[in-house]
Amino acid sequence: MRKDMIAGNWKMHATHLETIQMVQKLSYRLDAADYDRVDVVVCPPFTALRSAQTVIETDHLEIDLGAQHCYFEEKGAFTGEVSPQMLAKLSVSYVLAGHSERRQVFGETDADVNKKVKAIFAAGMVPIMCCGETDEEREQGMTEEKVGAQVRLGLQGLTTDQVTSIVLAYEPIWAIGTGKTASADDAGDMCTFVRNTVAEQFGEAADSVRILYGGSVKPGNIAGLMAKRDIDGALVGGASLDPDTFASIVRYWI
């Protein structure tokens, strides 16, 4: 009932020209059966979104476009920011919210993430809201407290319909870009915990929420992760930059 999703977060990589090549190469490696089974999303930087949109539309690709960030206001004197409405006009379907790099490097709070999530919905797109604990929090046994709070505060004030369509990503910070992955069992348990947290507030809507795992996902570990009942896909950083590698993550069952 929940369709798998594999999303590539390119972070601050790829010019608009490189993006065109990367999207095309990825599309050569995927076929209709793959898209039937998995929603494939790429999230290039802002400067490459228009080029990605053009390739996707011109070549009629079934790849969905995501953005990595937006501001929560629609327009105004916010130098350097991009609004959800601007992204929606570029056929962006998904926007990341609360990625740990935004939280840690740019100081985004749970309240900011909540405003952003609402603004993304208001513009007709779907947020991919991230949560996850640091190494230190994990060692202190605070993982559930931290992740539970991020989920509750991030979803505060949403309608049940919105929650039904949201995508969540559990990304332990110690596993991001480090080559260390949570074991499939631990990742699966945490995704179950995330779903239960959503259920406490929103009941059955939690069953429809897609929950991704993120943190050093590779072709070698994706199948084990996807076998877990509450893991519906992956948010992939480093390994999404190479179209061959990313395509083999998308086709995790092969």
Of 124, 157, 177, 220, the one binding ligand PGA (CB under 6 A) is 177
Active site residue 171: yes
176 binds ligand PGA (CB under 6 A): yes
Residue type, 223: A
Show the site string, 8-47: x = touches ligand PGA by CB under 6 A, - = not: -x--------------------------------------
Tokens, residue 252: 């995790």
Residue with the closest Cβ to ligand PGA?
237
Q: Which of 101, 108, 137, 171 is catalytic?
A: 171
Q: How far is the CB of 110 from ligand PGA (least distance, A)?
A: 18
Q: How far is the CB of 66 from ligand PGA (least distance, A)?
A: 11
List the beta bridge partners of residue 43: 9
Active site residue 99: yes
The angle at the Cα of 91, spanning 86 to 95, to the nearest 5 degrees, equals 70
Which residue has tokens 């945490």?
190
Report the alpha-carbon distance of residue 222 to residue 224 in Å, rounded: 6
84 binds ligand PGA (CB under 6 A): no
Per DSSP, 207 falls in state G
- The answer for residues whose C-beta is within 8 angstroms of residue 97's C-beta and 6 or more apart is 113, 116, 117, 120, 127, 128, 129, 130, 154
Are 132 and 170 a contacting pair, CB within 8 Å?
A: yes
Q: How far is the CB of 195 from ligand PGA (least distance, A)?
A: 19
| Residue nearer to ligand PGA on the CB measure, 98 or 188 | 98
Where residue 244 falls (left for φ over 0; alpha for ψ -120 to 50; beta otherwise) is alpha
Tokens, residue 241: 């930059």
Q: Which of 69, 99, 108, 137 is catalytic?
A: 99
| Residue nearer to ligand PGA on the CB measure, 205 or 216 | 216
Task: Please tell me whether residue 77 adopts helix, strand or coil conformation.
Answer: coil
| Residue nearer to ligand PGA on the CB measure, 238 or 243 | 238
Q: Which of residues 185-244 bind ligand PGA (CB under 6 A)?
A: 214-217, 235-239
| Residue nearer to ligand PGA on the CB measure, 86 or 131 | 131
Residue ranges that bind ligand PGA, judged by CB under 6 A: 9, 171, 176-177, 214-217, 235-239
